Structure 1
Amino acid sequence: MSAILAVHHIHKNYDDESILTNISFTLETGRSLAITGQSGSGKTTLLSIIGLLQQATSGQIVIAGQNTGSLSPKQQARLRATYLGFVFQRSRLINSLTAYENVVVPAYFARTGKNADKRALELLTDFGLEHRLNHRPQELSLGQLRRVALARALLLNPKILLADEPTNDLDPTLAKVVTDSLFQARDNGSTVIIVTHDLELAERADARLHLQQGRLTVPDVTTDLA
């Protein structure tokens, strides 16, 4: 299988502080990767750089053979809409939209609305939210917000699914629903990258990387990325 993602010598600095140092790995299509490490180790920053939401100080992110550093902001936005799905730690839903409307938003950015409405309803029903379709984010619980965010991320069957602490603050039952959905996406062909403190979740991944003070260290389980 070919690599869907290649991370080459990524460095990230804020002023004189080094956040990430020489991060490199590749990941094949249809694989899952857990990135672990203590708070402040650079996990979320790395995920944001991979997702083209932040720019590295130096290094390259290559997605499906495209060096993203050579793309214009408009081209990067198009690549995000085409290839990437995001599950943010704080959901980042649009407060003025209903749960259902939040889920279908990616279809409008990607200009591919065909079957999006039906797919959104199926996902929300699968997540037990069919009775919350017309509720706005401020009317939803943390677990409901997380499931709406996951449905939004899965809507277009992204080539790469990025999840930042997807089970954080969830009870075990809801955490299992979210975790099972992530790995179902992998089984359906998505490449899944998960930043997590949840060791049980990390152990289910095909591979695992550990960050310590912005550097990759030898993982405490065998890592087979490519």
Structure 2
Amino acid sequence: MKYLLEVREVSKSYGEERILDAVSLVLEPGKSLAITGQSGGGKTTLLSIIGLLQQATSGAVIVDGCDAGGLEPSRQAALRSACFGFVFQRARLIHSLTALENVLVPAWLTRAGKAAEVRARELLGRFGLEERLHYRPQELSIGQLRRVALARALLLKPKVILADEPTNDLDPAIAAEVADCLLETCGSGAGLILVTHDPGLAARADINLHLQQGCLFEQRRTVHA
């Protein structure tokens, strides 16, 4: 089977402090994977390395069959744009742009064409933001900001969605909506990796991994009689 993503023996150190220790994982098309663990334990660092935003100290990240570590920065950036959609812990929207314009940023970078605006409007409408298309980030609530960021991540139908605490600080109804939208992407063959402190959200993923002291362990599901 061709994996969407392979992480092979990835380690990350800052000076003498080792944050990740020979971490490995694979992601199949249409599957979701949750990573849990203590705050400051390296989960966001691992997600950044997977998404080619940081370099590992050692090990390899194979994206859609391509060893990303050996690529020049420009080709690595192109691979990142082509394969990944990011939902950051903070929305990271551009304050001078409207909600619609923020969603369209990936399309502008890749010159995706006018069809992208149609999809952006559809996504924002699906998330209940059709009346907020021309609002700027400072005019939106936390929940609205998170939904704009989610629409931006889904715009170009990436092969892999990387989500860092996507439901953090959201009220239960909006958190459930965001979780549903993320998990639904797997139905079209995309892969999802999410970092979360929410055990309920983690339990909905196909695979549940726990990062502890730099090492990654699979959490076995409890089967009740």
Q: TM-score range by the shorter chain?
A: over 0.9
Q: Which position in structure 2 is the counterpart of 1:4?
A: 4
- 2:206 matched to 1:213? no
Which residue pairs with 1:74 in the alignment?
74
Matched, 1:107 2:110: no
CA contact (8 A) 1:159 1:189 kept: yes
Task: Supply the RMSD in Å over aligned alpha carbons.
Answer: 1.1
* CA deviation string 1:22-81 (max 9, x = no partner): 001111111100001110111000000000001100110000110001111100110111
In the alignment, the residues of structure 2 paired with residue 81 and residue 108 of structure 1 have an alpha-carbon distance, to the nearest angstrom, of 11
Structure-2 residue corresponding to 1:145? 145
Q: Partner of 2:28 in structure 1?
A: 28
State the match for 2:83 in structure 1. Answer: 83
Deviation at residue 221 of structure 1 after TM alignment: 2.6
Q: Is the 8 A contact 2:163 2:193 kept in 1?
A: yes
Q: Which amino acid aligns with 1:161?
A: I
**Shift in Å at residue 111 of structure 1?**
2.1
Instruction: List runs of 5+ in structure 2 lacking aligned partners.
Output: none
**Residue 160 (str. 1) matches residue 133 (str. 2):** no
Is 2:198 aligned against 1:198? yes
Q: CA deviation at 1:114?
A: 4.0
Following superposition, the deviation at residue 202 of structure 1 comes to: 0.6
- SS of the residue 1:156 aligns to: coil
Distance across 1 between alignment mates of 2:40 and 2:105: 31
Paired position in structure 1 for 2:121 = 121
Shift >4 Å, 4+ stretches: none
Question: Whole-Å Cα distance in 2 between the matches of residues 114 and 82 of structure 1?
Answer: 18
The equivalent of 1:97 in structure 2 is 97
Amino acid corresponding to residue 99 of structure 2 in structure 1: A
Deviations 1:166-209 (A, max 9, x none): 00010000001100000111112210000000111111101011
Q: TM-score, normalised by structure 1?
A: 0.96
Contact 2:2 2:65 in 1 (8 A): no
Using a 3 Å threshold, how does the CA distance of structure 1 residues 210 and 125 change in structure 2: closer, same or farther? same
**TM superposition shift of 1:15:** 1.2
Separation of aligned partners in 1, 2:111 and 2:57: 31
- State the TM-score, normalized to the length of structure 2: 0.96
Q: CA deviation at 1:219?
A: 1.6
TM-aligned CA deviation for residue 218 of structure 1? 4.2
Equivalent residue pairs, number: 222
CA distance in structure 1 between the partners assigned to 2:218 and 2:3 by the alignment: 21
Does the Cα contact within 8 Å between 2:30 and 2:189 map onto a contact in 1?
yes
- In structure 1, stretches of 5+ residues that fail to align are none
Sequence identity percentage:
62
Equivalent position amino acid for 2:142 in 1: L
Deviations 1:138-191 (A, max 9, x none): 111100000000000000110000000000010000001100000111112210
Partner amino acid for 1:116?
Answer: A
Q: C-alpha displacement at 1:2, in angstroms?
A: 2.1
Q: How far 1:107 moved relative to its partner?
A: 0.8
Query: Is residue 40–residue 213 contact of structure 1 (8 Å, CA) maintained in 2?
Result: no
